[in-house]
Amino acid sequence: MNEPRIQPVPCLRMRVVGGTTVVRLRGEIDILTAAPLSVRLDVLTAGPSPELVLDLRFVTFIDCSGLGALCRARNRTKERGGRLRLVTSSTRILRLLRLTDLTRVFDVYPRLSDALAHTPRRGGALSATAG
C-alpha cells in the first residue's frame, strides 16, 4: 500500500541579519508544504514590527497554495507595522508574480544584499529587474 508522501517545511535556513529575519526557502512550495510553512511564518510575524526577508532563490516551484502562504505572511507583517521582502531572480517566479498582479503587493529584489540594504518601495523594487 502506498503511504502518503510527507514533505517538511521548505526551509533551508533561518538567520537574523541586522534585526531582519532571513528565511531561505528551497524546493517546492505547494499544497503539501504551504500549511506548515504558514505555521512557521505565523510565528515569525507574531510580534510587533516584524522585519522579514523570504529568500526564494532556491524555490523550484510555487503554486496558488504557496502564493497564499506568502500573501498571508505579508498581510500579517503589514498589520503589525513590519516589512516583508522577497528575493528571487527566477523568471518563472517573477512571471507568476506579474501574472497574479502580486508585483504591486510585494517588494521583490534580485539579490539578498539588495533586500537587506534597501528600504522597500511598494511595487518599485522589481521594476528595474523584471522589465
pLDDT average, residue stretch 1-27: 79
- Report, as an integer, the average pLDDT of 27-41: 94
- DSSP 8-state assignment for residue 14: E
The distance from CA 49 to its chain's CA centroid, rounded to whole angstroms, is 17
pLDDT at 9: 67
More confident: 115 or 124: 115
Q: How far is it, in rounded angstroms, from Cα 97 to Cα 2?
A: 35
Q: At 128, is the pLDDT very low, low, confident or very high (cuts 50, 70, 90)?
A: very low
**Is domain 11-130 classified as CATH 3.30.750.24?**
yes
Is 87 within 8 Å of 115 (Cβ atoms)?
Answer: yes
**pLDDT of 125 over the 50 cut:** no
The DSSP annotation for 64-109 comes to HHHHHHHHHHHHHHHHTT-EEEEE---HHHHHHHHHTTGGGTSEEE
- Provide the pairing of β-strand 20-29 with 11-17: antiparallel
Q: Which of 130, 50, 54, 49 is nearest to 97 (CA)?
A: 130
Residue 13 has a pLDDT of: 86
Domain ranges of the chain: 11-130
Q: How far apart are the first and last CA of the chain?
A: 49
Average pLDDT value for the chain? 87
Looking at the DSSP bridge assignments, the partners of residue 83 are 51
Report whether pLDDT(52) > 80: yes
CA 40 to chain centre: 12
pLDDT at 33 over 50: yes
| Stated pTM of the model | 0.83
Question: How far, in Å, CA of 131 to CA of 121, rounded?
Answer: 17
